[in-house]
Amino acid sequence: MAGRAGSGVPERYRTAVVPHVMVADAPAAIDFYERAFGAVQEFRIDHPRGGVMHAEIRIGAAVLMLGDTSEGPFTSPTALGGTSVALHVFVPDVDALTKRAVAAGAELLEEPADRFHGDRTAILRDPSGHLWIFLTHLEEVSAAEPARRVSAGRGEDRNPAAGAGTRTRAASPAAPRARYGAAAIPEHWTDPLHVPLPGFGGRVLRSDGLRTLARQLAAAGAAAR
């Protein structure tokens, strides 16, 4: 793997913390990721005693390492009965990817929807038990804008009858409006799963903290009226 001279860091890993996930059946997981997410296997080392010692796949521009569970500190979500980590991947068309992934066997936890942080987002669970959050970026959002939208109860309209990808700005009180507030944060984005929400100027917020913030902002707005 080529890297910049003297850097000590391979070029492909230079700008990222690379996820390394463990699964109970790596060959089956790789096959699923190829069918569901359009992943490309870049290399793979099979263990002499069977299974996959190490493999790397690419989903778009994102690198994912994976391997079969073995003795030692590594285990899989299925063995643990859950996971505390979610994998975020930005894609050009989250609706198309979600449809493809579900057809391949992914469990749909959250259908694609426009979120107050400026991204259209879907949440899936793969057959190995790992959680995936796929996003399509819609707009640049300042660090203060998500809280403003939560407080104002305003956001972007969605027109389900027009089909996926139809998004317009809320321009008329008569238009159906996707309102943002405490209830707009999905209930399963709470303990024990802490999902980082993108679009906050690099900050990571726990979803339960965001729900509390929404309630506080709503109360402050009511008191000011």
Q: What average pLDDT does the segment 148-163 reach?
A: 58
**Those residues with Cβ within 8 angstroms of residue 57's Cβ, 6 or more apart along the chain or in another chain:** 30, 33, 34, 39, 40, 41, 42, 63, 64, 66
Confidence of residue 192 (pLDDT cuts 50, 70, 90): very low
Q: Residue 127: beta bridge partners? A: none
The answer to whether the CB of 56 falls within 8 A of the CB of 42 is yes
Residue 52 lies in a domain: yes
* Domains contained in the chain, number: 1
pTM comes to 0.63
174 in any annotated domain: no
- Print the domain residue range for 44: 16-70
Domain presence at residue 119: no
Tell me, what's the pLDDT at 36?
98
- Give residue for tokens 């700005």: 169
Domain assignment present for residue 60? The answer is yes
Q: Residues 114, 118, 123, CA angle at the centre, nearest 5°?
A: 50
Q: Which H or E run includes 119? A: strand 119-125
b/e sequence 74-95, b meaning 16+ C-beta within 10 Å: eebbbeeeebeebbbbebeebb
User: For residue 136, what pLDDT is reported?
Assistant: 92
- 55 part of a folded domain: yes
CATH classification at residue 66? 3.30.720.120
Reply yes or no on whether the pLDDT at 111 is more than 90. yes
Q: What is the mean pLDDT of residues 59-79?
A: 86
